[in-house]
Structure 1
Amino acid sequence: MPRVFVPGRVCLLGEHSDWAGARAARDGPGACVVVGTREGVSARCDVGEGPRFRVVGADGDAFECDVSVDDALEREASSGGYWSYVAGTALEVLRRFPRCRERGLVVETLETTLPTRKGLSSSACVCVLVARCFGVAYELDLELKDEMELAYRGEAVHTPSKCGAMDQACAYGSERVVALTFDGEDVDVRACEVDGEIHIVVCDLAASKSTVRILADLQGAFDRGDEALRSALGARNRALVAEGLDAIKRGDARALGAVYTRAQTTFDEAAIHICPSELTAPRLRETLAAVAHDVPETVFGAKGVGSQGDGAAQFVAVSEAAAKTLRQYLHDFSGGRFKVFDVVLRDEERHARTSTHK
């Protein structure tokens, strides 16, 4: 059986700009920059023996249904339950490629290393995984943009999720830096060049947050015309993303860290009061403050992750050695509760060539 891997993603800059850019032409396009994680979901897949779709989780739990008609997939997707994302994506793929119904698909999850509900696109990861498994098993010749579209529609159209279109950039792979712009229904995706290496330390805060609540509150305020929020997710965000991309292209960690700090302040000033139950985020604030006080020499800047809230934090490390020190500090600070990992921003093709010749 063919094996498939899809990573999570970290939004470096531009949280919430995907749905904002899709909603309001007068505010200009949304913009963000993301990078794939090393952590993700691996699975093996194959066509089945009849019109059935079966997915087995890493813990052995499974979802299975008849796909000769849409009823079962529609019910599961609309339920918003654990299997809703895989059902929604399967539904989207089968409507696009009806020949896949005759024999269905079997997906066996081998390993899951990506934390869930932490702003690391765990739901988009599994949606891309299902789309990719169909593509591999049936030789559909799907391009990355096709996988992203199927995964996005599988989640946004068929489940209760109100996600935007940035999360599916995890399709580009681990440690690939990708810039996206969102102008109405148009999404532009391009891989970014990186000169040198920038080390980002990501920390699962071992707390909880409700992305659904954050999205509902922010989108409601946005649609009611909250000018501060629209500016923060529009023109001010575009300026920050452009500055951050320039720093990434130059390999300038110090400059990127400064952008991180300003981006977090911009978001906080515009958004905390709209969803205080989630965005006050005491665990995030405590962790950022502790790092700034105890090990300031290890970081150039820090901010929240994904929809923000108490899911995860990210830090621009001063160097590879500083990233190691920071990871150990966060482990000790949390008494081992935090899951900490790093992502390296670099030119993957250049890195691969260098590694080959070592």
Structure 2
Amino acid sequence: MQAPSDDAPRFETLFGRPPQVRVQAPGRVNLMGEHTDYNGGFVLPMAIPQQTEVLLAPREDRRVRAFSANLGARGNVDEYELGQEKRGRGWLDYIQGVTHVLRAQGLDVGGFDLWLHSHVPLGSGLSSSAALEVALLRGLREAFRLKLDDVSVALLGQKVECDFVGAPVGVMDQMASSLAGTGAALFLDTRSLQYERVPLPTGVEPIVINSGVTHSHAGGDYKVRRAECERAAAQLGVASLRDLPDAELPRALALPEPLGRRVRHVLTENARVLETVRALRSGDLAALGPLLYASHASQRDDYEVSVPEIDLLVDLARTEPGVLGARLTGGGFGGSVVMLARAGKGAEAAARIVARYSERSAHRATVLVPESQTKH
């Protein structure tokens, strides 16, 4: 796990006093269950070692002063008054969104000075925004003694993105950042919010490779996919695609293009989550690879959220005997690939994949997991 940074002295230099609260929250990788969360389905994320760190000190007034270490020399201390949050200020919208949502829930906080430092690559499909929201909510919970459990933190983080930032995300990212660990997958029913931690078998290890192609959930394509699912559900007479029985798939495939294929992805992806959980519990390594590759094919062909660079990484994974399977993870249109490899084989396989990728792509890929390959 990522060690805390040495940002406290810099916080004190910038704000003239030491931080009173220091917390972290991880990014996440999703082993299975893409675009199922906003359809009420099943997901299977786990935390990654990379974290977003928040240092915070309460103020006596209603002012928020915030600094992002990720902006480097370009960064300034941005300020706003609590109750005067206004959209359109870039990364600060996530900070404004948190205080706006807390106040809307009757959980008003005082002003504070904030230092933010994220080690989760932005636009990588690994939930850098959820890690920021959860970390800040954890920090404010501690600083102002808010009565919030970890599920409530996740739900508030989701509201920040949906209600303030304008990204209609499901709840998976924030639940994973708030509840998941790195040694087990979080099997989550996004409808009931029931969850269970499912340990990875000792014979496998995850690989996460960032393709270098960035994406944004607030962008148009993600919103289009969600709207397509809502339209399909309405035409099929169900509240959400979670309510559609598998036997109704032929009726769904008769919908106007591309709605039938969107439905097929969601139904088959939910089934793949359940099968992956079964394989993890039983240690059935042979079943995991085909499930990962089938998920990627479904995202590429039925949901149409992959891009050539992601497809290339998945194809390169197939050439590695130690890799069981690979798939696009995250919202798509760029981002990262998750793979499962035989234990002890991940680091070398990932290094070879990245090297071959650089020969065939204009983008630079980065190995994020195994952590020994991570370069901050």
Question: TM over 0.5: same fold?
Answer: yes
1:215 aligns with one of 216, 222, 234 = 222
Distance in 2, Cα, partners of 1:195 & 1:328: 23
Distance in 2, Cα, partners of 1:261 & 1:122: 25
CA shift digits 1:132-175 (9 cap, x unpaired): 11101112242111111111111111221111111102112541
Distance in 2, Cα, partners of 1:106 & 1:113: 20
2:204 aligns with one of 190, 198, 208 = 198
Is the aligned partner of 1:311 residue 2:318? no
How many residue pairs get matched? 315
CA shift digits 1:177-231 (9 cap, x unpaired): 2111133xx4333323444353111111112334423312212322332233123
Is the aligned partner of 1:12 residue 2:12? no
2:154 is matched with: 148
Is the aligned partner of 1:300 residue 2:320? no
Structure 1 residues 205 and 99, CA gap change in structure 2 (3 angstroms): closer
1:63 aligns with one of 61, 65, 78 = 78
Distance in 2, Cα, partners of 1:18 & 1:2: 32
Q: Output the aligned Cα RMSD.
A: 2.2
2:61 aligns with one of 43, 50, 57 = 50
Is the aligned partner of 1:260 residue 2:318? no
Given residue 142 of structure 1, which amino acid in structure 2 is its aligned partner?
L
Q: Secondary structure at the match of 2:165?
A: coil
Deviation, structure 1 residue 286: 1.7
Q: How does 1:9-158 map onto structure 2 within 5 Å?
A: 9-21=28-40, 30-58=41-69, 59=72, 60-67=75-82, 70-71=83-84, 73=85, 75-76=86-87, 79=88, 81-101=90-110, 104-109=111-116, 111-158=117-164
Distance in 2, Cα, partners of 1:270 & 1:98: 42
Distance in 2, Cα, partners of 1:149 & 1:197: 34
Aligned-residue identity in percent = 20
Structure 1 residues 251 and 55, CA gap change in structure 2 (3 angstroms): farther
Is the aligned partner of 1:229 residue 2:262? yes
The unaligned stretches of length 5 or more in structure 2 are 1-19, 233-258, 372-376
Given residue 286 of structure 1, which amino acid in structure 2 is its aligned partner?
L
- 1:201 and 1:343 in contact (8 A); partners too: yes
CA shift digits 1:48-82 (9 cap, x unpaired): 12111222111343332111xx23x1x13xx2722
CA shift digits 1:274-294 (9 cap, x unpaired): xxxxx351111122223323x
Structure 1 residues 195 and 281, CA gap change in structure 2 (3 angstroms): closer
Given residue 284 of structure 1, which amino acid in structure 2 is its aligned partner?
I
Structure 1 residues 325 and 155, CA gap change in structure 2 (3 angstroms): same
- 1:124 and 1:167 in contact (8 A); partners too: yes
- 1:196 and 1:250 in contact (8 A); partners too: no
2:189 is matched with: 181
Structure 1, 56-65 or 237-246: larger mean CA deviation:
56-65
1:349 is matched with: none
1:246 is matched with: 278
Q: Secondary structure at the match of 1:61?
A: coil
Q: Secondary structure at the match of 1:326?
A: helix
Given residue 337 of structure 1, which amino acid in structure 2 is its aligned partner?
R
Deviation, structure 1 residue 338: 1.6
Distance in 2, Cα, partners of 1:5 & 1:311: 22
Q: Secondary structure at the match of 1:192?
A: strand
Is the aligned partner of 1:323 residue 2:356? no
Deviation, structure 1 residue 304: 0.4
1:289 is matched with: 315
The unaligned stretches of length 5 or more in structure 1 are 22-29, 273-278, 345-358
Q: How does 1:263-274 map onto structure 2 within 5 Å?
A: 263-272=295-304
1:163 aligns with one of 143, 158, 169 = 169
Looking at both structures, which has the greater relative contact order when contacts are Cα pairs under 8 Å and sequence separation is at least 6? 1
- 1:297 and 1:318 in contact (8 A); partners too: no
Distance in 1, Cα, partners of 2:352 & 2:341: 13
Q: Secondary structure at the match of 1:316?
A: strand
- 1:32 and 1:181 in contact (8 A); partners too: yes
Q: How does 1:330-341 map onto structure 2 within 5 Å?
A: 330-335=353-358, 337-341=364-368
Distance in 1, Cα, partners of 2:215 & 2:108: 40
1:24 is matched with: none
Distance in 2, Cα, partners of 1:264 & 1:246: 19
